[in-house]
Amino acid sequence: MDPWMTPSLIDFSITGECNLSCQICNLKPKNTISLDTPTILEIISHLDEIYVNIIDITGGEPLMRRDWFSIVEHVACNTDLALVLSTNGTLWNDSDIRRMAELPGDIMVVVSVDGATSDIHGQIRAPGRERTWERLYLKTLETVQGLVDHNVGMCVNIVLNSLNVHGVFDLYHVLRDMGVSSLNVIRFYPAGIGFGNREKLEIPYKAWAAFVQQTADFCMQTDEFGSITILTHFWEIFLPLCEIYGEKNALELTKKIAHPCSGPLESSYRKALTSMGCNAGITHAFIDSDGCLYPCGLIPRYEEVNCGNIAEAGFDAVWFDSSTLRRIRSAHAEDVLGCRGCEYLTLCGGGCRGRALALSGDFLGPDLACPKCKEVLII
């Protein structure tokens, strides 16, 4: 088995059910089919055997599944996988938190909080359910506080969109006062349900660039690098910083405020394998609740990139033999429309493949959020 062909991170949706109705959700309408527990545990054990590094147990909302803890416990107690559990935080109780605190190993609970107020969070997570907004928000923060108090490894994710772009630092201060040490910022992706809301939720490049520059300034002024990280494609951080700090300084700043997943082409080992800068289908993959595998978690349930069902064919057969994945791995960044000749191509590697599929209809098409790409294509 070629080492680079073993995925380093798997997002595993154990259920398509969710108790919220987020405008930002990148999933298409929910998948009501879920694998049984023995099958899920068998898949997880195999991922451990082939040396996957990280598994992110997600949904839907994982806690909608009654046996969610037995799945999490299996990862923590019976494998060497680093465990991430992604949740909206609304269904937890004290017993759940205490049980998580007792688990061994490398564990990170990621709670989604999308605003510093219940109104902002509620508009995004429960549109049309105004009467529930305060209760949902307070419950989410209660879960965050409980995890902090019980010393469970945790961080908070915020999906940045037009409704909350001006409140990130307010949320940061709320969380810091609660004892949360890390806030991850994810740019809204126009996929799944979010695709239908893209006109009101997408952030124009200028507003996004201003946020990235503000984040860099904040981290430099406070020396709190790592307390706010941006989890998105490399160019989305580097390009705005280049405009102010120049290429060399921008590159160093990008490394400091980007989530480690954001700049894979900084690795000489990775560059020797592929010129594509996106992790989708190369080091990352998404397993849906019915067992179907997709190149990444941004575009599950897009049939164009359904690589096959691992519960039926086996993980290795899908991961190594899928024609979709072979096409991705044989692609070259210079062949991405709008990228050839770009001075930053060897750093960027052609942009986000998930956004390319959602907006252009082609997984190997242009990343239409990139202003340099749009200039070339005259869009």
| C-alpha span between 79 and 197 (Å, rounded) | 39
**All domains of the chain, ordered by start, with CATH?**
3-202+278-330 (3.20.20.70)
Q: How far apart (Å, rounded) are the C-alpha atoms in residues 141 and 235?
A: 32
According to the model, what pLDDT value does residue 67 have?
98
Q: What angle do CA 245, 248, 250 make, to 5 degrees?
A: 45
pLDDT at 222: 86
Sheet arrangement for strand 308-309: 228-231, 183-187, 154-160, 107-112, 82-87, 54-58, 9-13, 284-287, 292-294, 308-309
139 SS3 class: helix
pLDDT the model gives residue 300? 84
pLDDT at 85: 99
Residue-level pLDDT, tens digit, the chain, 379 residues: 454 578 999 999 999 999 999 999 988 876 678 999 999 999 999 999 999 999 999 999 999 999 999 999 999 999 999 999 999 999 999 999 999 999 999 999 999 999 999 999 999 999 999 999 999 999 999 999 999 999 999 999 999 999 999 999 999 999 999 999 999 999 999 999 999 999 999 999 999 999 999 999 999 988 887 799 999 998 999 999 999 999 989 988 998 898 766 556 666 777 777 899 999 999 999 999 999 999 999 888 889 999 999 999 999 999 999 999 999 999 999 999 999 999 999 889 999 999 999 888 898 899 999 999 988 886 6
Chain centre distance of CA 62 = 16
Per-residue exposure over 291-300, b if at least 16 CB sit within 10 Å of its own CB, e if not: bbbbbbbbbb
Query: How many C-beta atoms lie closer than 10 Å to residue 191's C-beta?
Result: 25
DSSP 8-state class, residue 180: -
Task: Give the span between the Cα atoms of 7 and 286, in whole angstroms.
Answer: 10
